[in-house]
Chain A
């Protein structure tokens, strides 16, 4: 019986990617014949497959990244978490160098031939790794302010850079992610409340930049400026609203015809709503929720704190991003550039999130290995010293499972794993 990794998790993710590919194709394949003709006169042959080809290639890269993340030794990653975080910070700062690309008044991308990369996606994953590592350190004490201040300080560094870009979507998701992970670790709640003070500069920044403030206000009453700041949101509403219960049919959506800006990236959820209706979007939301549940189940079965925090953190990272995206397209929070994981068009988000899922699979696979070691078969792997085992009472179940395992299988399995490559986690994600 193959119990090395959580197959359901993989299936859920693949399902989301498939939904994403379908939606990306639907949103980018229809081009007005007038525009095609216009470009043809300029000598550019527009293809309906232009975007989907690129996205398929990204999925391929994502699968490779996921596999590498799955195969990487978690201990090594744990050690590397701080260098990785620093590396992500460097990437983020590269945005301000000549490599950076400015679009829509924000510097969020760096040029990676032949494409672009958004470091903020990588930052989130590295932050989860770092927090998991930090919170599983022996010196981490939930009632010590320093234990709270250090991660918050690290986050603050990133937030400053994000605000400079500016990328308020990243600010919001990173803050939520860090806070929820600190909350998870059991940190004093009053520390978290004190963080509210740090929110002040954000509000000041918002007020100082009228265009940003307008966007904030826009979500409260998009109809006030239907042709300006409220336009995108109204178009998103129209897309979702015209979908109704069952949608207008796959590929039949009309809002993607330049009505809804960024329909294939940040607002792809609206397109799914228009074409597949309420049933479709609820399904997508539920699949994300299942992914989250699957993630925290893996976390609960984790064999040490690092694994636990890592798995929980990744699950939350994806869930938070999904919820923020849903909230943006439904006008519950101000509009911000945040892609829907696995579904939106765009390489950075997809590759990073698939890497994250790879890590999640790695954690779930480590459970299998731990079970083996718990059965006393091949205790070879050095358990991190000083880690209290998780307060999980699965021991009996595991022993029961263990008896079913054939020795030969377990052995060969182990051989393969131990001789497996120790590829460093260096992929750009």
Chain B
């Protein structure tokens, strides 16, 4: 019996020994092989969510942000009853079942059913527990302000690639390349790494736009388009010294969150993509050139009493007969005859040189896609009538931005600025990776600009063409423009289609904003001073109070108050 107990103990001992041998085989001899197997199943490569940089206004307000969403896909090979799944999905998603069904029976093993659905909505579908339906995290670009600054900001495609505006032009800064990292997973594919919160972010773009000014500008532009039943309209507000665009809008417009629903025409940023014949606002070229060249001085008298002038066998008329005017009054009252007379004194070579000096016919270098250069003929190709037409802003094609820049040069004392809308780009960490540089070239002497500024001030004064553009408390310097549109059918100037514009800056002596308002095809009135002037006035007065710009008469009033008290 003792022998038996020894045998049994030996057998048990042998059992333990065998186990240890087996363990040594698995754990020591085959360690590397199993380690490889373990790594293979415990680690997965996971794409880090890539977040596009956000777009901010100059005060850091978000104009384009990212939303965490989920995309729904299906694997048709795993779906047993496509009809039932389709109807269940269509109930949950509010989408037509036949569209879903087509995807469920497709031959591909991977089909998107719906991209970028909010997490709350996908949860409903997840609760259905449908086999063969999968969910992938996706990031959706969202524009919290809807249509505000839509032409500037632009939008992205389904894969968050920039398609228009800043989103397109600065795509390489905003987007970030997707990366994959190794994360620990459990057998069900759940991630275990804390590193999930890690994400790759694109650079943030900070615009020169001020959301408040943009809103003021857009609201008033909307009102004007509605009031004048205009076909289209554009307005740009710019810092005249730096070329920073403070606000820019075009009408018609669209909602950035559903760009695909509208025609391409609505998505066009007309401020830079469309040319127009500027009309009288172009008289700045002849006006400043004549002053700079010393051809005239503000008090040079010009006889406009005929009411018309013949250039190259073609009569050019004034809107009203004006009599003998000083050069100052020619600009103030926007006399075509007087301007052409000055233009003739300058000659076409000099006019052309000054056109080029203002940068007409060339791209301004504005940092948005789609800018056009406009169109100016070189003097050797001018016809006999050209010198007259060009002097008063016909036979040229310019963009609103080019015109605004020309007036900004008067506002800032003779410098041609480079308009831009992106002020800087910062990395997610906050480092500046791009900064707009503004190195304006002097194109005029200060004397000329000061003189011309004084003349422009008279435009909004009594006797000028744009008394409606005068802002209460701050003096506006500017110029109206009324140009006929060419009728595409007759190839002649249309009788009833006009472009009314007003361009100027305010306060005239210490300009804070330079602005252009262009209204295409207003109904009811055509004159820039009547149609565009008041829009300018409304935007300017709201903007000046938004910017807390003191009234021009504020200083005088205070002095007056002080002096009256002294008298007492």
Contacts and interface: CB of A to CB of B under 8 A. Distances in A.
A4 interface: no
B186 A257 contact: yes
Nearest to B16: A289
B8 to A, nearest CB: 6
A286 B20 CA distance: 9
Q: Which of A30, A241, A300, A326 has the most chain B CB atoms inside 10 A of its CB?
A: A241
Interface string A274-307: 0001100110011011001100100110000000
Given A238-B41, A273-B23, A184 B5 contact: yes
Contact of A259 (B8, B28, B31, B187): B187
Contacts of A405: none
Interface stretch (A112-120, A162-170, A242-250): A242-250
A35 B12 contact: no
Interface residues of A, number: 49
B27 A243 contact: yes
Q: 3 closest pairs, A vs B, by CB?
A: A241-B34, A257-B186, A32-B190
Contacts of B33: 241
B38 A34 contact: no
A282 B26 CA distance: 13
Interface in A10-58: 30, 32-35
**Most chain-A Cβ atoms within 10 A of its Cβ — which of B4, B12, B24, B33?**
B12
| B contact residues, range | 35 or more
Interface in A234-281: 237-245, 254-255, 257-259, 273, 277-278, 281
Contact of B186 (A32, A244, A277): A32
A412 B457 CA distance: 121
A391 B2 contact: yes
A299 B2 CA distance: 11
B489 interface: no
Given A240-B34, A245-B31, A254-B38, A282 B20 contact: yes
14 contacts: A32-B186, A32-B188, A33-B190, A184-B5, A240-B23, A240-B26, A242-B38, A244-B28, A255-B38, A282-B23, A285-B19, A293-B9, A316-B12, A330-B22
Contact of A312 (B5, B15, B184, B186): B5
Contact of B20 (A30, A180, A285, A312): A285
B15 A238 contact: no
Contacts of A300: 5
Given A281-B23, A281-B27, A296-B9, A237 B34 contact: yes
B19 A257 contact: no
Given A257-B186, A259-B187, A296-B9, A241 B19 contact: no
A332 interface: yes
B4 to A, nearest CB: 5
A326 B2 CA distance: 28
A237 B20 CA distance: 14
Contacts, number: 138
A393 B91 CA distance: 86
B191 A34 contact: yes
Is chain B's interface secondary structure helix, strand, loop, or mixed overall? Answer: helix
A293 B22 CA distance: 22
Nearest to B185: A257
B186 A258 contact: yes
A33 B19 contact: no
Contacts of A356: none
Interface in A202-251: 237-245
Contacts of B8: 180, 183-184, 312, 316
Given A33-B194, A241-B26, A332-B22, 11 more contacts: A237-B26, A238-B38, A241-B30, A241-B34, A242-B39, A257-B186, A273-B27, A281-B27, A289-B12, A327-B18, A327-B22
Contact of B34 (A30, A242, A285, A326): A242
B184 A254 contact: yes
A160 interface: no
A201 interface: no
B567 interface: no
Contacts of A384: none
